[in-house]
Amino acid sequence: MGESGAGKSTLLNIIATLDQPTSGEIMLNGTDLSHLSENESSQFRREHLGFVFQSFNLLDTFSNRDNIYLPLVLSKKPHQFMDNKLKPLSKILGIEKLLDRQPSEISGGQKQRVAIARALITDPSILLADEPTGALDSNNSEKILNVFEQINERGQTVLMVTHSVQAASYAQRTLFIKDGKIYNKLYRGDQSRNQYLQKIIDSLTALENNEEVD
């Protein structure tokens, strides 16, 4: 997490192979991401990454179901396979009833859950989320964060960018970014969410005080 303009999205985009670092390298599962060709990075994104955006980025031209199927269709998976994948996923996300409607017919929170389903259906090595709750009210944000916590417990790695301490407190580990540099890290360990929340707030205060010292 970090303030607006700190470089969170940039880092995420580089991990996502959507952007190139000017220097340094990005390793994921032993693969160097900075030297992939356009084709390879597309394939890499499709097979290893899941994306959740602040603005949902669902396609109006598809039904919710087809939006979720999209990455699998691009990977040329058979229809039956997609169907089997979607069933448990839609149950976890509580979107079974929304599948045959259009994205334009559902609320923001529902859209984001559909978007998460789309990101998870490929069983990505890592789920990248750039301020996924930024456009949602607190009630819907909480639902989304609970989903993240739940899938994380099942073994899904989630890398989420946020500037909300509330959202950050759901994580197992928190990295602080400032001026394009990682500044601090925190591990949740066995702490409760409230304890961890307090720790994050303390750390942020320290960060700001430090600024005054500079």
Partner 1 sequence: MVQLKLALHNLVKSKNQSLPFIFSNSIWVTITYIFLSMIYNTNIKTNSYGAVANYILKLGLIFIILIAALSTFYAERLLSKQRTQELGLYSMLGLTRRHLKQIVLLENSLFYMICIIIGSVAGITFSKLAFMSLESLLGTTSLHQNFTLLPLIYVAAIFAGIFILIILFDFWGLKRVNPINLWAKSSQPEKEPKSHTLLAVLGIIALLIGYCISVMIKPTGAAFGQFIIAIVLVVAGSYLVFITASISLLKILKKNQNYYYKPNHFISVSNMLYRMKQNGAGLASISLLCTSILVALIASVSLVEGQNNLINLWSPVDVQIVSKAPLSTTAKQTIHKLANNYQITMSQSHMVAVTTPSMGILSGKHFKPQFNTKTEYTLSSLDLRQYNHLQNTNYHLKDNEVLMYAPGTNYLQRHISVQGRTYKVKRIKKFNGAFVYSHNIYKSIFIVAANPTIAKQLNPHSYVYAQGFNTHGTKWHQKQFANAVQNALKVDPSNFTSKYIMRDLLKAMFGSLLFMGILISIVMICATTMIVYYKQVSEGYADKHNYQIMSKIGLSQKETRKAIQSQVLTVFTLPIIGAILNLIFALPAIKSVLTIFSMYDLKILVVVSFCTISVLIISYTIIYLATTNVYRNIVSH
Torsions phi, psi for 88 (to 5 deg): -65, -35
Decide which of ligand ADP, Mg ion, partner 1, none touches 191; Cβ closer than 5 to 8 Å per partner kind. none
- Residue number of the CB closest to Mg ion reads 9
Place of tokens 């229809």: 79
**C-beta separation of 151 from 38 below 8 A:** no
- Interaction of residue 196 with partner 1, rule CB under 8 A: no
Which residue among 22, 24, 30, 38 contacts partner 1 (CB under 8 A)?
A: 38
Residue 98 buriedness (CB in 10 A; 0-12 / 13-18 / 19+): buried
- Interaction of residue 193 with partner 1, rule CB under 8 A: no
Decide which of Mg ion, partner 1, ligand ADP, none touches 5; Cβ closer than 5 to 8 Å per partner kind. ligand ADP
- Interaction of residue 47 with partner 1, rule CB under 8 A: yes
Is residue 185 classed as helix, strand or coil in its secondary structure?
strand
Tokens representing 68 are 């979720």
- Interaction of residue 6 with ligand ADP, rule CB under 6 A: yes
Residues in the chain: 214
Q: Looking at beta carbons only, is 44 or 183 nearer to partner 1? A: 44
Place of tokens 């993240």: 148
The helix (run of H) or strand (run of E) holding residue 150 is helix 138-153
Closest CB 9 distance from Mg ion, rounded Å: 3
Residue 87 CA from chain centroid, whole number? 21
Q: Looking at beta carbons only, is 94 or 180 nearer to ligand ADP? A: 180
End-to-end CA distance of the chain: 21
- Interaction of residue 9 with ligand ADP, rule CB under 6 A: yes
Residue 127 CA from chain centroid, whole number? 5
* CA distances (Å), origin 145, targets 10, 131, 134: 22, 11, 12
Which residue among 8, 65, 85, 188 contacts ligand ADP (CB under 6 A)?
A: 8
Decide which of ligand ADP, Mg ion, partner 1, none touches 54; Cβ closer than 5 to 8 Å per partner kind. none
Q: Looking at beta carbons only, is 4 or 37 nearer to ligand ADP? A: 4
- Interaction of residue 37 with ligand ADP, rule CB under 6 A: no
Region binding ligand ADP by CB under 6 A among candidate stretches 5-13, 66-74, 97-105, 109-117: 5-13
- Interaction of residue 102 with partner 1, rule CB under 8 A: yes
Q: Give contact residues for ligand ADP (rule: CB under 6 A).
A: 2, 4-10, 180
